[in-house]
Amino acid sequence: KFTRSSTGDVNVAGSMGMKTGKWYWEVTSVQNNSGTATTQLGICKSTFQSFGTPAGNNSDAWVFTSGAYKATNNTYTGSFGSTWSTGDVLQIAFDADNGKVWFGRNGTWIGSGDPAAGTNASFSSLDTTLTYLPIGGINGSADVMAANFGQRPFSYTIPTGFKIGRAHV
């Protein structure tokens, strides 16, 4: 669970990297003030330090934001899905072997993505020699997000061929 109070930014990165395999995890929006905050969820390379808006100071972070954008290389790369609200479940499927990541919301993969088939990834051509970490961050207002790496039942079915996410935050 990560929380941003009324001041400062919150950035978290998992401490267990993913260099091979296919991984799945979910993050639930417990409290969302999307009118004044940007929450970012995704992956970054293992040398991740911190990030701001968007995708932070690390050019190797790939994120889906609460403002319905995706970002990488410290730049928004276009509209993506729709804004999320309190109670929404965000899904992340990461294929480290093929350098792809998918994002979903409430059981629907964005952009007609299909992690099980390996098609329409949110980001692809990621460097498969790197180790990646799950990341999340909030800036702008008080938001609360709760990650589920398999410590409780998932809200949605894990894509075929994927394992439960792994992170130690």
pLDDT tens-place string over residues 89-140: 989 999 999 999 999 999 999 989 999 999 999 888 888 888 888 877 766 6
Give the Cα separation of 157 and 108 in Å (integer). 11
Mean pLDDT, all residues of the chain = 78
How far is residue 145's CA from residue 87's CA, in Å, rounded to a whole number? Answer: 10
CA distances from 69 to 13, 37, 115 (A): 20, 13, 19
Whether residue 73 has pLDDT greater than 70: no
Instruction: Decide: 85 and 68 in contact? Cβ < 8 Å.
Output: no
pLDDT digits (tens, 9 = 90+) for 9-63: 667 777 788 899 999 999 998 876 655 556 778 887 776 555 444 444 444 566 7
pTM: 0.84
